[in-house]
Structure 1
Amino acid sequence: MLPYASVQDAETAIGRSLTAAETLWFNYSATKSDYFLYCHNILFLFLVFTLVPLIYLFIEFVFSKNIIPYKIQPKVKLSFADNLNCYFDVMRMFLLVVGPLQLVSYPSIQMIGIRTSLPLPSLLEIISQLVVYFLVEDFTNYWIHRFLHGKWGYEKIHKVHHEYTAPIGFAAPYAHWAEVLILGIPSFLGPAMVPGHMITFWLWIALRQIEAIETHSGYDFPWTFTKYIPFYGGADYHDYHHYVGGQSQSNFASVFTYCDYIYGTDKGYRYQKKVLRQLRDGLNGDEKQNGESHAASAQDNKSE
């Protein structure tokens, strides 16, 4: 709750006029407790888990013929009912684990110093903190993910997430309850190291889940802006990890690819890409050679 009775009090305290965004924030949050503001995460996660995969599902069923060239595993097609069942499984985990965890974890947010006060952070501050959060989460998640692909970790916990060998958007948060709790640690480390404003925290939680849904979407669209993010893995990169399944010792990264490259856990993926390139080049070469042969035959027929 903001310690100001009015906008004028807030402006006096910070020594300048409030921006439009700060005025909106004051009007919304001035009479609300910090705990209530923190619990907005529950609503944001529910909306992300519901609406973002639904966009992919809508595109798949309405524009299926147009987007089939971008489907990574085109032979696998889950029904609407399959998608719905996955969503209900995720929502059950949301109600039993994710939501209650959000409700009881507020003391940790207080401890690390996530603030709700004015002034609001600048755009540069928000972006720089989000970059740190993504990097910290990605590095930590990489090692936890590798552990979960050990014999014990996979058999007891991680195999639930790998039930979808051809992932879909709704399956991004689909996992064993223990995995949901364990992977909450990397998401918390970045804000703990570089605490910021509650708005930045909201954005971080929402963007991380949107990224996870995109990488599990099953589609590698060439026009997505994430193609321009350095070292970003994306859907094709993570889809390989699901395609190989439980035996996979490749592509553990959650967001970026540099850890897999440094520690040599992307060799299977790079080898597959190399083989596919060679096959495509061979087919194109054969087509070109056949075309030249047909042209030569036609020329011979004319000569005769």
Structure 2
Amino acid sequence: MVPYETIEEAEAALGRGLSVAEKVWFKYSANKSDFLLHCHNILFLCFFYSLASLPYVFIELHRPNKFNKYKIQPKVENTLRDMIKCYKYVIHTFVLSVGPLQIISYPTIKLLGIRTDLSLPSVWELLFQLLVYVIIEDFSNYWIHRLLHGPWAYENIHKVHHEYKAPIGLAAPYAHWAEILILGFPSFLGPALVPGHIVTYWLWFVLRQLEAIETHSGDTNTKRRP
């Protein structure tokens, strides 16, 4: 929560004028606790998962034949019923698994120093932190994913993710609740090691979700070999 009642008070305390972005942030966050701001993450996950998946749902249902050459498995179709089932399962898992984790992880977030103050990150700071997060997540996710393909982990956890034989964007986070939590660790590791502003934290998890949806879309930007 921003410790000022008005923008004028904030500018006087900081000894400078606020940027447009900082004024917007002040108006949004001034009356919200840090805990509430932290819990926004689950809302963003659900919202952007729903929004970003819609184009892929439309493409899957109304794909012109000439675009089948870009589909990795053109002979396998996912019905609307399949996709609704997938969506309901993912939202259910988000709410019942990620939601409680968001709540109990709040003290850790505060301890790590992820801040909510008026000093928003510069563009360069934002880009640098996101780059670090990508590198850390990509490396750690690779090794954890490999472990999930081990005999016990695959049979008891990871095989849920492979129920959809032909990938679709909606199925990116379709997984056993334990896998959702396990693979959340690589995404959280970057912000834990290089903490920044909560806006960066939000943006990182949104971008990570969008990237997962795109890579699970079942399409490629190059023509499939016959």
Q: Given the two structures, how large is their TM-score scaled by the length of structure 1?
A: 0.71
Matched to 2:141, the amino acid is N
Question: How far, CA to CA, are the matches of 1:178 and 1:78 in structure 2?
Answer: 25
Change (3 A) 1:49 1:174: same
Q: Does 1:73 align with 2:73?
A: yes
Contact 1:93–1:177 (8 Å) recurs in 2: yes
Deviation at 1:175, TM superposition (A): 0.6
Question: How far, CA to CA, are the matches of 2:8 and 2:123 in structure 1?
Answer: 24
Provide the secondary structure at the position in 2 that maps to 1:115.
coil
Question: How far, CA to CA, are the matches of 1:124 and 1:143 in structure 2?
Answer: 29
Aligned to 1:114: 114
Aligned to 2:197: 197
The runs of at least 4 consecutive aligned structure 1 residues that moved more than 6 Å come to none
Aligned to 2:64: 64
The structure with the largest alpha-carbon Rg is 1
Deviation at 1:66, TM superposition (A): 4.7
Question: How far, CA to CA, are the matches of 2:30 and 2:169 in structure 1?
Answer: 37
Aligned to 2:96: 96
Higher relative contact order (CA 8 A, sep 6+): 2
5 Å-filtered alignment, 1:157-236, equals: 157-221=157-221
Matched to 2:105, the amino acid is S
Matched to 2:187, the amino acid is S
Provide the secondary structure at the position in 2 that maps to 1:165.
coil
Deviation at 1:185, TM superposition (A): 1.1
Provide the secondary structure at the position in 2 that maps to 1:201.
helix
5 Å-filtered alignment, 1:1-304, equals: 1-221=1-221
Matched to 1:116, the amino acid is T
Matched to 1:7, the amino acid is I
Q: Given the two structures, how large is their TM-score scaled by the length of structure 2?
A: 0.95
Contact 1:35–1:106 (8 Å) recurs in 2: yes
Aligned to 1:248: none
Gaps of 5+ in 2: none
Deviation at 1:221, TM superposition (A): 3.0
Q: Deviations over 1:105-132 (max 9, x none)?
A: 1111111100000211111111110111
Matched to 1:72, the amino acid is I
Question: How far, CA to CA, are the matches of 1:204 and 1:211 in structure 2?
Answer: 10
Question: How far, CA to CA, are the matches of 2:59 and 2:156 in structure 1?
Answer: 35
Q: Deviations over 1:55-95 (max 9, x none)?
A: 21113323433532211111111111111111111122122
Question: How far, CA to CA, are the matches of 2:17 and 2:127 in structure 1?
Answer: 24
Deviation at 1:208, TM superposition (A): 0.2
Gaps of 5+ in 1: 223-235, 237-272, 281-304
Question: How far, CA to CA, are the matches of 1:77 and 1:14 in structure 2?
Answer: 58
Q: Deviations over 1:255-288 (max 9, x none)?
A: xxxxxxxxxxxxxxxxxx9xx6xxx7xxxxxxxx
Question: How far, CA to CA, are the matches of 1:103 and 1:58 in structure 2?
Answer: 34
Question: How far, CA to CA, are the matches of 2:58 and 2:167 in structure 1?
Answer: 16
What's the % identity of the aligned pairs? 59
Over the aligned positions, Cα root-mean-square deviation in angstroms equals: 1.7
Tell me which moved more, 21-30 or 2-11. Answer: 2-11
Deviation at 1:219, TM superposition (A): 1.0
